[in-house]
Chains A and B, each alone.
Chain A
């Protein structure tokens, strides 16, 4: 039966999660690139939102959440045929329509996250082709395995809001795409810094607020589970922000805004899989671990491995999501304020299941992303020419400039 309170919260959560992508993630990324590419990044986020929405309607939802088998859903609801206005989504107290829409916002942000890996040098057509294929080949099956009644769900994997489904898949894909695409001209030492750190903060703040819909909404009810999920989400974000700030302050003598809000996003990504299963102590532990490990991973990827995952999607989202999924097994006992293990499960066995989920999703995303990016390369090409890259994608690809403010706007 449809419950009004639950439905109201899920409608709200849906709005919040869409708000994470538009404009939260879009602005977070836009501030981090150079001024000549600001519009291209915003464009990627807007167009991917629309593209994924249409694919979700056309069949992605049915393949992810249709009954099907352990590996994939079915085609019973392609073009959302047979979705009745009054139908209750099975196992919930909310309308099918709200569930479809809520899950759509998760499907939207996941390829959106990958944008951060390939900014400032990719062809626009490649973005569309790769992202569309990736949604169907990576996101859809993994969502089915974990949330659609698939084989990982049957094993008892705990991924409350997308540590595996969203952040592990997107993070690993980001690394693969960044390697396939190659480094930006001037990487790593001759790049211009982020053109507008204050926009990065605005985007991060929107992501922070929207994340309450992501995590507390994943309770699918408006009750106690949503309440605790919101509390631990917020705590992890706050603790991770302070920890990242402290690391930079100690190391460079200056606490930076970009670093602090990167800590926020890392903390949010890391608490995501755990948010329905741990208590405030778990949030504290996750917040600290997130900042320390993600900070180290940014350094490892960019400085040691010299992979130009431009906006650190793997180091922040991928690593955060994987680590949070593993830490869920350790921090969910009742003694630590968590919900405790399912019958017959122990910390060890749960950890094994969590590790399996992370490993399988990471390998699937890595292999499939590699094949899809090579296919995209063969069909439409991946990278713009060097002249175009130097001029920037805004003018060359989209015919617009991000900032028309020369002479105060008074020149003809």
Chain B
């Protein structure tokens, strides 16, 4: 099993979710996060004074999938989240040791 962590632009969430649903993925976790990368940050102007926003708001998606679909799911997220501008985000793929469904006690792929 693989754990896919995607950092995306907040306003791309709906597009990503639709694409994942079409690809047969029916569960993910979203959290609001802040960070910086090549986008660095941005400026906001209040009363003519510039404020540096060093940590840009992003969304973090977490999805656990079977090994064989991991690459295609990551590809789906990448295509849906991409705008072509700096700040589109990143996708990380990690190995999962185990997974359990709390309600039923199912283990492994059954729990996904």
Contact = CB atoms under 8 A, between A and B. Distances in A.
Contacts of A197: 46
A248 B49 contact: no
Interface stretch (A37-45, A187-195, A344-352): A187-195
Contact of B48 (A192, A194, A259): A259
Interface of A: 188-194, 197, 248, 251-252, 254, 256, 258-259, 262, 295, 298-299, 302-303, 312
Instruction: Tell me what chain B mostly uses at the interface: helix, strand, loop, or mixed.
Output: strand
B44 A251 contact: no
Contacts of A248: 45, 48
Contacts of A262: 47
A295 B48 contact: yes
Nearest to B45: A252
23 contacts: A188-B49, A189-B50, A190-B52, A191-B51, A192-B51, A193-B44, A193-B51, A193-B53, A194-B46, A197-B46, A251-B48, A252-B48, A256-B46, A258-B46, A259-B47, A262-B47, A298-B48, A298-B49, A299-B48, A299-B49, A302-B49, A303-B49, A312-B47
Contacts of B50: 189
A295 B51 CA distance: 17
Contacts of B44: 193
Contacts of A298: 47-49
B49 A258 contact: no
Nearest to A299: B48
A185 to B, nearest CB: 14
Contacts of A302: 49
Given A193-B46, A193-B51, A193-B53, 8 more contacts: A192-B51, A194-B46, A252-B48, A256-B45, A259-B48, A262-B47, A299-B48, A303-B48
A254 B45 contact: yes
Nearest to A247: B48
A312 B45 CA distance: 15
Contacts, number: 36
Chain B interface bracket (under 10, 10 to 19, 20 to 34, 35 or more):
10 to 19
A189 B47 CA distance: 14
Interface string B68-95: 0000000000000000000000000000
B102 to A, nearest CB: 18
Interface in B22-60: 44-53
A259 B44 CA distance: 12
A189 B44 CA distance: 11
Contacts of A192: 51
Contacts of B45: 248, 252, 254, 256
Contacts of A312: 47
Contacts of A190: 52
A192 B51 CA distance: 7
A169 to B, nearest CB: 23
A312 B44 CA distance: 18
A25 B64 CA distance: 51
Contacts of A295: 48
Nearest to A257: B46
Contacts of A188: 49
Contacts of B48: 248, 251-252, 259, 295, 298-299, 303
A258 B45 CA distance: 9
Contacts of A251: 48
Contacts of B52: 189-190
A252 B44 CA distance: 10
A295 B48 CA distance: 8
A383 B46 CA distance: 25
Nearest to A311: B47
